[in-house]
Chains A and B, each alone.
Chain A
Amino acid sequence: KQEVTQIPAALSVPEGENLVLNCSFTDSAIYNLQWFRQDPGKGLTSLLLIQSSQREQTSGRLNASLDKSSGRSTLYIAASQPGDSATYLCAVSVTGTASKLTFGTGTRLQVTL
């Protein structure tokens, strides 16, 4: 059974700092990995999707990397801003059941002024 873990569970950084969020998964036979952002009381917003054949994806100040063999992904946020404060979730779908996403527990990020 696929298990997804995110470390740390919570993180507080001052504005302007670069930061890395970690995601690990137990079954390396993944189809893709997706990073989401969730604001309090809101739904999930898709940030980046990495296919299993890819190593990384970039969108603005965000860069996500994938190392399938070691079962890890990182989300790098450059020059953090208070507006980046949210919970970040990673989710993987496994080969053969490409539609089924298994979510991590999330990292709650706070960027302070």
Chain B
Amino acid sequence: DAGVIQSPRHEVTEMGQEVTLRCKPISGHNSLFWYRQTMMRGLELLIYFNNNVPIDDSGMPEDRFSAKMPNASFSTLKIQPSEPRDSAVYFCASSFHPDRKYNEQFFGPGTRLTVL
């Protein structure tokens, strides 16, 4: 298994531009999570999906952030318009449905976003 796949690995953009981050979860997993990591705030959960349905988006910082999961093998996190304070590493993770006994989360390599 290739694990959780994220693209791009690095993104540098200018303030005001739209940014789209992509994630492919592990095949067979039906929960998907988006996290953000910064030096100041550590790792924070932004949103998670079960069976492609958004369950909790209370961690999404503002309306500039949106996430979609059109099918079981693909999700996007979009920032429009981007701001310098959005600079962070964004991680995607997947797991089996939480009703399963072992809902261990597996993380992708992350996307390092820099907004100038």
Contacts and interface: CB of A to CB of B under 8 A. Distances in A.
Contacts, number: 54
Interface in B23-71: 31, 33, 42-45, 48, 50, 55-56
Interface in B70-98: 91, 93, 95, 98
Interface stretch (A11-19, A71-79, A101-109): A101-109
A99 B104 contact: no
Contact of B48 (A34, A49, A99): A99
- Size class of B's contact patch? 20 to 34
Main secondary structure of the interface of B (DSSP, over half): strand
29 contacts: A31-B98, A32-B103, A36-B107, A42-B110, A43-B91, A43-B107, A43-B109, A43-B110, A44-B91, A44-B93, A45-B107, A46-B106, A46-B107, A49-B102, A51-B101, A91-B43, A93-B103, A99-B48, A99-B50, A99-B56, A99-B98, A99-B103, A100-B45, A100-B56, A101-B33, A101-B45, A103-B44, A105-B42, A106-B42
